[in-house]
Each structure stands twice: as structure tokens, then as C-alpha cells.
Amino acid sequence: MDLSTWRRFSREGCIRRSAGANLHPATEKTPLRVVTIRGGFDFLFLEKLEKGMYFLYLDDSGSVANRDEEYFVLAGVCVPENSVPWLNAKIEDLAAEIPLEDPGRVEFHAADIFGGKKPPWDMYSVRIDRINLIKKVLYVLQKAYQEIVIFACAIHKKSYPKVDAFKLSFEDLCSRFNLYLHRMYQATNVPQKGIIVLDKCAHEMSLQQLALEFRQVGTRWGHLKNIIEVPFFVDSRSCRLIQLADHIAYAVFRRYNADDLTYFNCIEGRFDRHDGIIHGLVHKQLCNQTCTCPACLTRNQ
């Protein structure tokens, strides 16, 4: 096959794996192919289709098991395929500013940057410099096209003591992503399909199965007709947009768990919203019926 007929987004959006690693293959109806090329790596390519394609990159912040933390957050960025190279390049430019010989070794992880203990962040001895670096990663969204939106689900863990917060937030964001794609179809009259990409985690197999169940029997909010079968899991070290998702999750986590708006204010205007309601941010809690956070406030008006 002539590779010029494919869009390569391995370096632009980073779905890549070592040869022989576990990657869930695309079905015949999925517009993805796996092609092994030089270097022993397998890359996903996207066929030119008469339909739109969006990627939702997700990462989490907080710990489901940590009792010292009140909240768990799953969040990320939704990007149309033609904007993936641009957004990825913006974060690559930030990596080039870090004083390392190889910018490719730079992994933007918000908690590590804030802590300032791991290299290369330990070279930033002044706390405000590390805070500003986290903000710079988030600020790449300010000049992005309006089709690039963000999603987040913040769960107050004590409100749902018998529920897996990771799975609950994943189901919620799957439904919101699906509804967003449906709205895009209504606005453009072009069928929109979505792919979910997550950082590798211990929940990988359970989320794969959960995604299949959502497609077969639906979520509590309906069927996911616009999302391709199962999510893909990647190593965050090789995926700039997962690193951006990490920063979004961290910003939302700090807002709800620590009442810290430092980073949240950088991204508040990017949450998916429609008809005056913020759909891209959900605050799941049963302890404060008069909450005035942006997610609760727009729904209570």
C-alpha cells in the first residue's frame, strides 16, 4: 500500500507500540490499520474517510485508594484529527525550551513539575517557576481552534463509597464525548467518530471490557454510537497530548481537592459547553447541594 495515502499521526498524536506488545487490533469496521515499519515499531494509520474523526486523550489525577484525598479526577482534551499535529507541535516547542540535549526525553507530568524533585524539574529551584511551567503547558489551549475542547469528571469519593471512581468517571466521559460527537454531526452534517486514548494504567483490561459493554448494552445515558469499539492505551512518555491531558486533570484535581484555582483558571473557558451549560465538566458529589463551581452552577440556573 502507498503510505502517502495514510495520515501518519504516530509522531503527531503518538499511538505507537514496540513490536510484539499488546495492542487491541481494529475491527473490519474501524478506520484504523496497524502497519509495521522501520525500527520495529507498529504505527496506527488513519484512512482518508468521508467522515470526521476526533481523539479524546485522557489521564487521571488523584488516587482512588488514597483516603487523604477527597477527590479523583479523570480528564483530557478532545482534538479533531487535523488539529493533532498543531497541538502536538506546540507542546514540542515547550519541550525544546527545557535545557536538555534531547527534548524527546522531556515528559511533562504536572505533579512531578510541581514537586521539583525529579529531573529535569529539580533544576527549577524556585517554586513559582515550576508553577508557571505548568501554566505554560495549559496555555497552549488558548490559541487553539474552538473545536478543541476539554472534558473532566471530578468525583467526591465519599459520596460514592461502593463505586469504582475510575470506572464511574470513564463511563461519564464516554457518554459526554459521544454526545459531543453527535452535536458536531448535527452542526456539520458530517458523521463524526471518536477514538479514546488513555495513559497505560492498571485499569487497562477492565476499561477495555467496560468500553465493549457500553457499545453493546449502552451506558446509563444511552448507547455510544459514535465511539470506535475500545480505547487505546499508550505510554505517556511518547505522547504529548496525554501529557496535556495529565495537566488538565491536575488542574481540575487541585481546584476540587485543594480549592486551588491557580491552574483551573487557565482552562475554564475550554470546557465543552452548549446553550450556556457546561457539558465538559461534571462535579459528582452528594455533600453540597448548593455548590457554586462552574459545573454545578450552570446546571442549577
User: Residues 146-174: pLDDT tens digits?
Assistant: 999 999 999 999 999 999 898 899 889 98
Residue 106 pLDDT greater than 80, yes or no: yes
Question: Which stretch of 17-21, 57-61, 171-175 has the lowest confidence by average pLDDT?
Answer: 17-21
pTM score over 0.85:
no
- Residue 127 located in a structural domain: yes
Phi, psi of 197, rounded to the nearest 5 degrees: -125, 125
Residue 217 lies in a domain: yes
Place of cell 517557576: 129
Residue with cell 458529589: 285
The pLDDT tens digits of the residues spanning 121-147 come to 999 999 999 999 999 999 999 989 999
Whole-number pLDDT of residue 43: 41
pLDDT score of 30 more than 60: no
Query: At a CB cut-off of 8 Å and minimum separation 6, what does 95 contact?
Result: 103, 104, 106, 108, 240
CB atoms within 10 A of CB 291: 16
pLDDT of res. 204: 66
Calpha distance 295→107 (Å, rounded): 30
Would you say residue 14 lies in a domain?
no
Q: Quote the pLDDT of residue 65.
A: 87
The amino acid occupying position 147 is E
Residue 291 inside a domain? The answer is: yes
For residue 94, the enclosing domain spans 49-300
Structurally, how many domains does the chain consist of?
A: 1
What local confidence, expressed as pLDDT, does residue 220 receive?
A: 57
Query: Does a structural domain hold residue 8?
Result: no
What mean pLDDT comes out for the span 178-205? 86
70-99 pLDDT, tens digit each: 999 999 999 999 999 999 999 999 999 999
CATH of the domain at 294: 3.30.420
For cell 522531556, name the residue.
Answer: 106
Give CA–CA dist 153/156, Å, rounded.
10
Residue 22 counted as domain residue: no
Maximum distance among all Cα pairs of the chain, rounded to whole angstroms: 59
Q: Examine residue 285 and state whether it is found in any structural domain, yes or no.
A: yes
pLDDT band with cut points at 50, 70 and 90 for residue 282: very high
Residue 216 clears pLDDT 90, i.e. is over it: no
Query: So what's the pLDDT on residue 227?
Result: 85
